[in-house]
A and B are shown apart, each in its own frame.
Chain A
Amino acid sequence: MIRPRLIVIGNGMAGMRTVEELLKLKPDLYDITVFGDEPYTNYNRIMLSPVLAKEQTIPDIILNDENWYAEHGITLHKGVRVERIERKKCEVITRDGQAHPYDRVLIATGSRAFIPPLPGADLPGVVGFRSIADVDTMLAVCREGGHAVVIGGGLLGLEAAAGLVSHGMNVTVLHRNGNVMDRQLDGVAGRILEKTLEDRGISIRLNAHTASLHGTGRVESVRLKDGTELQADLVVMAAGIRPNIDVALNSRIYCENGIVVDDTLQTYDPKIYAVGECVQHRKECYGLVAPLFEQAKVCANHLALYGIAKYTGSMTSTKLKVTGVDVFSAGEIQAKPYHEEMVLADAARGVYKKVILNNNMIEGAVMVGDTMDGAWYFQLMRDKTDVTALRDHLLFGQAHVGNSGHGAKARVASLPDSAEICGCNGVCKGDVVKAIKEHKLFTLDEVRARTKASASCGSCTGLVEDLLASTLGGDYSAAPSVKPMCGCTDATHDEVRTGIIRHELKTIRTVFDQFSWKTEDGCAKCRPALNYYLLCAWPDTYQDDAQSRFINERVHANIQKDGTYSVIPRIWGGVTSPSELKAMAEVAERYAIPTVKFTGGQRLDLLGVKKEQLPHVWRDLSAAGFVSGHGYGKALRTVKTCVGKEWCRFGTQDSTALGIRLEKLTWGSWMPHKFKIAVSGCPRNCAEATVKDLGVVCVDSGFELHVGGNAGIKVRVTDFLCKVATEDEVVEYTQAFIQMYREEAHYLDRTAPWIERVGLPYIQRRLIEDSAGRKALAARFIHSQQFSQTDPWTERAEGKDAHEFAEPLVLA
C-alpha cells in the first residue's frame, strides 16, 4: 500500500517531538522522511550549556539515535539542507537540487543566533550558541585558553560565559542595556546576578555597544563604540535569536517575524504545517522548549487526521541553566500602576524575590539566588489562583504555607538521592532523576510510565514536577495545567463534563465517540470517571454501568489485600444502641468474621468477609435495620458528631441530632471522591470538624461552616465558609456545597484540592453571595437524592447482581 508522504524539514526537538506524538497516534499513517542540516540525530538543544560546562557529553544529550529512526521506518537525511518547497509540484528541493515529492510537509527549522551586522562578524572564531558545531568551536578555543568576549548578556550569553569561564577562559560579557537579562529581570535582580557572576570571574560591561571585530585570518579583538579595545580569541554572538524562516520565505509561505500558523499549527498552505521556534502564533514567537511540546501535540493530532486539538498559546517561564546560579523569571517583571509588588531582598545572601500581583493573582515573579519556589509561583500564575489566603507566607515559599504533609519535602532539589519521593511505589529521588536523564523524559506522564512515581495516589505529583524542572533545567515548564483525563483521550475533565451536558451524552460509548477516544473501551481511570459524570448529569435516567465501577463500588464492600471484603454498616451520627450492637455481634459470630474494629468515623468495621458471604451478611444486617455505610465508595462516608448540649457541659447546640439529620439527607449520594462530615457542639471541636470535607462547629449564636479539610495524605485545615443562625440554613448550605462539588470537581479530587484549584472566594461567591444559585444547587441535590437513597445491601440481599456473589465453580 502506498502511504501519504510526510516530509519533516528540521531534525530538532520540535520536529521530532511532533513525529513522536504522531507515531503514538497513528504509527503507520505516513511514509516519513526527515531532513536535518546538522550531521547528528535529534539532540536536546537546551542541554548545550551543560555540555559546554563539561557537565554532560554529546551522547548524553542525544534524544533519538539512528536505531530509533530505523525502527520507525523513518528515512533520515543528516547534514542535508532544504532549499525550498515547490508548492505547485508538491516537492521539497534540497540544496543539491534533488526533488522529494510530498503529501504533507512539517517545517521545524527552529531559530538561529542573531548575528548583528558588525564589521568583522564573519571572521573565523566568531560563533553563535545554538548547535553542537558552535559548542565544538568554543571547546576547541578553550583548549588553547585566552580571552573570550560574549556579545549579549541575556540568558544564552550568560550561560555561554559561565561555560567558558569554567574552562579557564578569561571572559567578558558585553551587554548593551543597564542590567543583564533585562528581558527577564529588574534592575535589583540584575545587580545581584551580576555580582554573583563577577564572583565567578566573569567580567561584565553594561551599556557596552560593540562597534567592530578585528583580526587577520581569525578574530583577535573587539572594539567598542567608546573606543575601548578588548582582546578576543573567541567571540560568542548571543544577541538574541531569530526564527529560521529561509525555507518558508524561499517557498513564498506567508511569514512575519516567524512562519505564521493558526491554532492548528497550519501555515497559509494547508498542506504545510510548522512547529517550534520558527513559527509565529497569535503574534508570538517562542524561544523556549515548553511551548514547543504543546505545539507538537496539537500538530500531531491534526497530522493524524483527528482534527480536534487546538493550540492557544503558552505562558512561559525562564530559568538560567548555570549550576549554582539560580535565576527564575516568569510573566511581568516590572510592576505597572495597577499592580501590587511584594519584595524580599537579602543582598548579603544574594537572594532576591519579587512577586507581582494584580487583583490577588500572580502576574509575574522574578527570583535570584533562591528559585526553589519558581515552579510554585508559576503554577499559581498559570492557574490564576487567588492567593489572598497565602499572602502572609507567599514570599517565604511553599514550604511555609500551612502544610504539615509534604511541605517540608517541598524543596526537592536539596534532598539526597535516597530520599523517598513516592511513598506508594517506593520510588526515591535518585530513581526519578536517573530515569529522566537516561530515558530523556520530559513530562510527568513519561516519568509516571517509566518509574511509577506519582502514578498511584498522586500526592507527590508536585515533587515529581519539581524534579523534572530541576533535572531538565532551563525551559522546562510543568506539565500543562490543562491535563487530559487519561491516556485514552486529549479531552480534559472539564471539557468532558461540559460536553456531556451540551451534547446530551447519555452513555459512556457516546462520550467515547464524541471525543474520539483512542482506546476501544477506555481504561480503569476514565471509565469510572465517565460513569460518575453521567450519573451526576442525568440522575433520573442514567443507567449505572457496573463494569465501569471500581470493584468496591460494584459489590458495595471494600476489597482487602487478601481478596476478602470489609463491611461497615451506617451508624447514624455515630450513635448506636444495645440492640444494634447485639445484632452486629451475632452477625460477626454467625459468619466467623475474623476482625471487628472501630473505624475513625465512629462506626464498626467487619473485616475478612468472603465475597460469597456478603449477601447473607447484608440480609442479616438489613433485618436488624442497618443500611450500607458506603465505607467503600466515592460517596458520603461518615458524619462524625460529639455528644453536644444534650450531655456535654460545654455544648452549645444539639450537634448529635444535627449530625444525624445531615447524614439522613446526604447518605447514598455519589461524589467525585469520598466525603466526610463532622458536627462539633462547641469550638473545642471534639468531632474534629476542621479536617473534614464539611465541618460544622456549633457556637452559642449559631453554626460555623467550614469546608475543604482533609486529614489524609496532606493534612489541610478547613477554610471558614460562613456562619449561619439556624439548622435549616446548615442543611441548605450543606446540600448546595455538596452539589457544587459533585457538579464541578474532577473525579477523584477531594474537596481540598478542588478548593485550592478554584479558590475559596469562588465558592463563597456561589454559595453566599448568590442565594438564588445556592437554593438551585440545593434543589438539584435533593432531586438527585431521590434516585440514590435505595440501600444497595438490601437490594443485593434480595438477589440483585447475583452473578457477582455466586460460589465459584470447582472444576473436577
Chain B
Amino acid sequence: MSSTWFTVGQLADIPRLGAKVVHWQGTPIAIFRTQTDEVFALEDHCPHKQGPLSQGIVHDRKVTCPLHGWVIALDKGTAMAPDEGCTPGYSVRVTDGVIEIEMKHLDALPPTATA
C-alpha cells in the first residue's frame, strides 16, 4: 500500500461550518471545515440511508445528515447514539491554506522482467 496526497483546494474556498465535495474513483468525499478551521474528510454517505453528509449542518466536530437527522462525528465517522454506524474517513492536512487529502491505493504490480 502506498498513498498519494492530492490538493483539494484552498481552505478559504469552504465556508466555516461548511463543506465541499470531491470525487475519487467515483466515490464522493465530503471535506468539512469547522468553526475553528479544523478540516475533516468523510465519504459523502450517511451510514443510515446514504444521505449526502456534505449538505448537512456542521456544528462543533459533528455534522447532521440532511435526510433524517443522524449526527456523525467528523473525526471518527461514527454515528452518535442511539444511532449506530460508521462512515469511512480520510486523512487531510492543511499547509499554508491549501487542503490536501491522502488517498491510499494498492501498489502497482512489481515490474516483471521483460525480454
Which chain A residues have a beta carbon within 8 Å of chain B's beta carbons? 449-452, 455-456, 519-524, 527-528, 546-548, 550-552, 555, 559, 561, 563, 803, 806, 808-811
Q: Are B23 and A563 in contact (CB under 8 A)?
A: no
Q: From residue B107, how far is it (CB to closest CB) to chain A in Å?
A: 18
Interface centre among B13, B69, B103 (most CB of A within 10 A): B69
Say yes or no: is B82 at the interface (Cβ < 8 Å to chain A): yes
Q: Are B59 and A523 in contact (CB under 8 A)?
A: yes
Instruction: Tell me the nearest residue of chain B to A451, going by C-beta.
Output: B82
Which residues of the partner chain B approach A803 to less than 8 Å between Cβ atoms? Answer: 13-15, 20
Which residues of the partner chain A approach B89 to less than 8 Å between Cβ atoms? Answer: none
Q: From residue A527, how far is it (CB to closest CB) to chain B in Å?
A: 6
A-B pairs with CB below 8 Å: how many? 88
Q: Are B24 and A811 in contact (CB under 8 A)?
A: yes
Which residues of the partner chain A approach B58 to less than 8 Å between Cβ atoms? Answer: 521, 547
**In the assembly, what is the distance between CA of A801 and CA of B56, in Å?**
16
Asked whether A547 and B17 contact (CB < 8 A) given A527-B59, A811-B6, the answer is yes
Asked whether A521 and B60 contact (CB < 8 A) given A551-B55, A561-B67, A811-B24, the answer is yes
Q: From residue B100, how far is it (CB to closest CB) to chain A in Å?
A: 10
Q: Are A524 and B56 in contact (CB under 8 A)?
A: yes
From B16, B59, B101, A524 is in contact (CB under 8 Å) with: B59
Q: Are A810 and B49 in contact (CB under 8 A)?
A: no
**In the assembly, what is the distance between CA of A452 and CA of B83, in Å?**
8
Q: Are B23 and A811 in contact (CB under 8 A)?
A: yes
Asked whether A809 and B22 contact (CB < 8 A) given A520-B35, A803-B13, the answer is yes
Instruction: Tell me the nearest residue of chain B to A520, going by C-beta.
Output: B60
Interface CB pairs A-B, < 8 A, 23: A449-B81, A452-B83, A455-B69, A456-B69, A520-B35, A520-B59, A521-B58, A523-B64, A524-B56, A524-B71, A527-B57, A527-B59, A547-B15, A551-B55, A551-B57, A559-B67, A563-B51, A563-B55, A803-B20, A808-B20, A808-B21, A808-B23, A811-B23
Q: Are A456 and B16 in contact (CB under 8 A)?
A: no
Q: Are B60 and A563 in contact (CB under 8 A)?
A: no
Q: From residue A504, how far is it (CB to closest CB) to chain B in Å?
A: 23
Q: Are A550 and B57 in contact (CB under 8 A)?
A: yes
**In the assembly, what is the distance between CA of A548 and CA of B58, in Å?**
9
Interface size class on chain B is 35 or more
**In the assembly, what is the distance between CA of A806 and CA of B31, in Å?**
14
**In the assembly, what is the distance between CA of A300 and CA of B15, in Å?**
37
- What 16 new A-B contacts, CB under 8 Å, besides A450-B82, A803-B20? A455-B69, A523-B57, A523-B71, A527-B59, A547-B16, A550-B57, A559-B55, A561-B51, A563-B55, A803-B13, A803-B15, A808-B21, A809-B9, A811-B8, A811-B22, A811-B103
Interface centre among B8, B9, B56, B60 (most CB of A within 10 A): B60
Q: Are A811 and B66 in contact (CB under 8 A)?
A: no
Say yes or no: is B77 at the interface (Cβ < 8 Å to chain A): no
Q: Are B15 and A546 in contact (CB under 8 A)?
A: yes
Interface residues of B in 1-15 (CB under 8 A from A): 6, 8-9, 13-15
Instruction: Tell me the nearest residue of chain A to B55, going by C-beta.
Output: A551
**In the assembly, what is the distance between CA of A450 and CA of B81, in Å?**
8
Which residues of the partner chain A approach B81 to less than 8 Å between Cβ atoms? Answer: 449
Q: From residue A802, how far is it (CB to closest CB) to chain B in Å?
A: 10
Which residues of the partner chain A approach B13 to less than 8 Å between Cβ atoms? Answer: 803
**In the assembly, what is the distance between CA of A767 and CA of B66, in Å?**
37
**In the assembly, what is the distance between CA of A452 and CA of B70, in Å?**
10
**In the assembly, what is the distance between CA of A552 and CA of B67, in Å?**
11
Which residues of the partner chain A approach B51 to less than 8 Å between Cβ atoms? Answer: 561, 563
**In the assembly, what is the distance between CA of A808 and CA of B29, in Å?**
10
**In the assembly, what is the distance between CA of A455 and CA of B71, in Å?**
13
Which residues of the partner chain B approach A455 to less than 8 Å between Cβ atoms? Answer: 69
Say yes or no: is B18 at the interface (Cβ < 8 Å to chain A): yes
Which residues of the partner chain B approach A520 to less than 8 Å between Cβ atoms? Answer: 35-36, 59-60
Instruction: Tell me the nearest residue of chain B to A545, going by C-beta.
Output: B17
Which residues of the partner chain B approach A452 to less than 8 Å between Cβ atoms? Answer: 82-83
Q: Are B57 and A528 in contact (CB under 8 A)?
A: yes
Asked whether A519 and B69 contact (CB < 8 A) given A449-B82, A563-B52, A809-B8, the answer is no
Instruction: Tell me the nearest residue of chain A to B9, going by C-beta.
Output: A809
From B35, B56, B68, A521 is in contact (CB under 8 Å) with: B35
Q: From residue A563, how far is it (CB to closest CB) to chain B in Å?
A: 4
Asked whether A519 and B24 contact (CB < 8 A) given A451-B82, A550-B66, A811-B103, the answer is no
Q: Are B28 and A808 in contact (CB under 8 A)?
A: yes
What 0/1 readout, one digit per residue, does chain B (71-87) give for beta carbons within 8 Å of chain A?
10000000001110000
Q: From residue B80, how far is it (CB to closest CB) to chain A in Å?
A: 9
Instruction: Tell me the nearest residue of chain A to B64, going by C-beta.
Output: A524
Q: From residue A548, how far is it (CB to closest CB) to chain B in Å?
A: 7
Which residues of the partner chain B approach A527 to less than 8 Å between Cβ atoms? Answer: 57, 59
**In the assembly, what is the distance between CA of A239 and CA of B57, in Å?**
56
Q: Are A548 and B23 in contact (CB under 8 A)?
A: no
**In the assembly, what is the distance between CA of A451 and CA of B15, in Å?**
34
Which residues of the partner chain A approach B62 to less than 8 Å between Cβ atoms? Answer: 523
